[in-house]
Amino acid sequence: MTTTIHARAALTPEGWREDVRITCAARVVGSIEVGAAPQPGDERCVVAVPGTPNLHSHAFQRAMAGRAQAAGATADSFWTWRVAMYDLALRMTPDDVEAVAARAYAEMLEAGYTRVGEFHYLHHDRDGRAYADIAELAARVCAASAQTGIGMTLLPVFYAHSDFGGAPPAPEQRRFVCDRDLFAALLEACRGLVRALEGGRLGVAPHSLRAVSADELAHLVGLAGEGPIHIHVAEQVREVEACLAATGARPVAWLLDNAPVDARWCLVHATHMDAQETERLARSGAVAGLCPVTEADLGDGVFPARAYRAAGGRFGIGTDSHVRITLPGELRQLEYAQRLTERARNVLAPPGGSTGRAVLDAAGAGGAAALDVRNGLAPGAPADVVALGGEATGRLAEDGFLDAWIFARGVAVDRVWARGRLVVRDGRHVARDVIDRRFAAAMRALAG
């Protein structure tokens, strides 16, 4: 099936162009015609931009969005939030996981994300025993991806310990834990799942330096081959202190010294880095997986974005805990945290350039690299197109339209095509009613 989209303005790898016809055939962009009149049968839109990859998701956590904003009896932190998250994780059935993931993925598409990196660590049954199909829950997130149309880069997680030094896992981590043999079986099953998904990709995710020993990390890097390797690192000060105590090194420095960190890698968060770590990570070619809304929600800290970008570092955006799934909101939070820290404005913009354009371009390129796909409105790339609509105060074909979307009002996602298939119309996922009914039933069951 061929779909042709006519945009009055489109953001191409060469910059803004006017009157652009984008032909999508066999799920990829076939041709881009510039200065072309719309033809009968064309889908017509105001402004077209490439879909953005969402490089870090734990889909099941969408079920607790908005439910952890009341203060506890003691000081709240990432660690008290984690107790509530474990409680939720221990109760979910496979049907719950699929229903919640479908809702999360529909919201991602509505936000302008067209691919998700699912950092998938909820593996086993509620008692901690492996399901008869070791990849039962991975199959459920893949089913949610197929139902919603979002592209899937599946990142099965290896999780073996509760802390540095190979501490045994805690009972409440029982649904996450694998040994090497079990993980090998899981990875093989995930390979089959991803093969069956249109445009599916597979990577490997050592959970964190807490959960994986040095030997296990080396083993996992071997399993990854040329595919993506994602790891949580340096999200919390307590984690930095524990790593220093256990290894004598800070987490990002330890990783750079002890693992072959290169362009295959995505270091999720990397919030707490000193100047040397920041520069070394930038030079490594790895992508920093930033999740600004979750990092703000959890009180993690602020990523040193100015120094990292100045050293040539790449980043992408993830929605992580899904407390709120928003693309402009993530990009705005990223920039605003820098402004608040530095007491400056337009921190991530190039001299004379637009902040919105700079962060959107960077998130597209970095996210695609981290999820092992191409990005951009160009022949051969996946036909992931986001149509933005709204009032334009200036010309359409200019960065001000993106700045209005990200920082102000009046611009919103209208339609989204994921690999050429229309999945969002008038800002709403085309299967939202069915998805919402299943989600509501799952949430009622989880509350009961």
Applying CB under 5 A, the residues found at the interface with Zn ion are 320
Distance CA 285, CA 289 (A): 13
155/418 with CB nearer Zn ion:
155
CB of 317 to Zn ion, least distance (A): 13
Among the listed residues 96, 300, 320, 384, the single catalytic one is 320
Which secondary structure element, helix H or strand E, spans residue 411, and what is its range?
A: strand 411-418
Distance CA 169, CA 178 (A): 10
320/330 with CB nearer Zn ion:
320
What SS3 state is found at 152? strand
Q: Which residues of 248-260 are buried (b: 16+ CB within 10 A; e: fewer)?
A: ebbbbbbbbeebe
Position 413, amino acid: V
CB of 440 to Zn ion, least distance (A): 26
Among the listed residues 269, 272, 322, 429, the single catalytic one is 269
Distance CA 247, CA 119 (A): 26
CB of 172 to Zn ion, least distance (A): 17
279/320 with CB nearer Zn ion:
320
Burial class (CB in 10 A: 0-12, 13-18, 19+), 328: buried
Distance CA 184, CA 269 (A): 27
60/401 with CB nearer Zn ion:
60
CB-CB neighbours of 105 under 10 Å: 32
Q: How far is CA 267 from CA 216, 272, 361, 370, 413, in A?
A: 17, 12, 19, 9, 29
297/320 with CB nearer Zn ion:
320
What SS3 state is found at 368? helix
Residue nearest to Zn ion (CB): 320
Q: In terms of Cα–Cα distance, which of 235, 198, 417, 405 is closest to 320? A: 235
120 is catalytic: no
Distance CA 342, CA 40 (A): 52
4/236 with CB nearer Zn ion:
236
CB of 380 to Zn ion, least distance (A): 31
CB of 232 to Zn ion, least distance (A): 5
269 is catalytic: yes
CB of 329 to Zn ion, least distance (A): 17
Distance CA 284, CA 432 (A): 41
Query: Whats the size of the chain, residue-wise?
Result: 448
Active site residues: 269, 320
